[in-house]
Amino acid sequence: MSAAAMMALGAFGSATGGFTALSLAMDRHWQDAYGRGSEPGPGRRRLLRLGGSLALLVSLLACMALWGGPKGWVAWAGILTVAALASSLTLTYAGRTVARLGWSAGAAAVLLLGAAVLARVL
């Protein structure tokens, strides 16, 4: 896989992970994932919000690195759209698996972006 493809997929992965984390910080979607009546503790909620926002920021940085200024913004908007659709539909149709989706998307993003950065540095 080329470094550019890794960077693009990484941007998508971190956006998906980020949106999933942000959605789990909301009561309704936490219940989609962990059943009625449960809710995230205040510490966890803060962590989810912080981690989710950071992941979205990382995907923006990856878009900027890959496409450069103006194009990067356009690409980021498109990636956010598709990533948010992916987390929303997972919440609706496979709520129990959404946490797994978030973690695997995030982990894939870390691996891909790490590899892309390494490929660029080396």
Partner 1 sequence: MKEGFRQSMAWLHTWSGLLVGWILFMVFAAGTASYFRDEITLWMKPELHAAAGAPVAQAVAIAHAQQALERRARASPRWFITMPTERDPTVRTAWVPERKKEQPAGERPKRRAFGSAVIDPATGQELGMARDTRGGDFFFRLHFDLHYMSAIWGRWIVGACAMFMLVAILSGIVTHKRIFKDFFTFRPRKGQRSWLDAHNLSAVLALPYHLMITYTGLVTLMFMYLPGGVQAVYQDRTDSFYAELGGTGSAAPKPSGERVALAPLGPMLAQASAAWHGAPVGRVTVNLPGDARATVAVSQQDGHGIGNNLPVMTFDGASGRLLSASGDSGGAVATRGVLYGLHLGHFADPLLRALFFVSGLAGCAMVATGLLMWAVKERPKHFKARADGRIGFGLRLVDGLNLGAVAGLLVAMAAFFWANRLLPGVMPQRPEAEIRWFFIVWGVAALAALALPTRWMWQLQLALGGLLFALVPVLNAATGGVGLPASIGHGMWAVAGFDLVSLLLGVFLLACALKLRKAPLRAARLAGSTA
**49 C-beta neighbours (distance < 10 Å), count:** 16
**H helices within 41-97, ranges in order?**
42-67, 69-93
What 71-77 contacts at long range (C-beta under 8 Å, 24+ apart), as own/partner pairs, is: 75/8, 75/11, 76/11
Q: Considering only residues 12-51, where is the footprint of partner 1 by CB under 8 A?
A: 19, 23, 26, 28-29
Report the nearest approach of partner 1 to the CB of residue 78 (Å). 3
Rounded distance between C-alpha atoms, residue 113 and residue 6, angstroms:
7
Stretch that binds partner 1, among 40-48, 51-59, 79-87, 103-111 (CB under 8 A): 79-87
Q: Which is nearer to partner 1, 8 or 58 (CB)?
A: 8
Tell which residue, 26, 3, 39, has the closest CA to residue 87. 26
Stretch that binds partner 1, among 40-48, 53-61, 73-81, 109-117 (CB under 8 A): 73-81
Any contact of residue 115 with partner 1 (CB under 8 A)?
A: no
Q: End-to-end alpha-carbon separation of the chain, Å?
A: 16
Number of residues that bind partner 1 (CB under 8 A): 25
Binding site for partner 1 (CB under 8 A): 8, 19, 23, 26, 28-29, 67, 70-71, 74-75, 77-82, 84-85, 87-89, 91-93
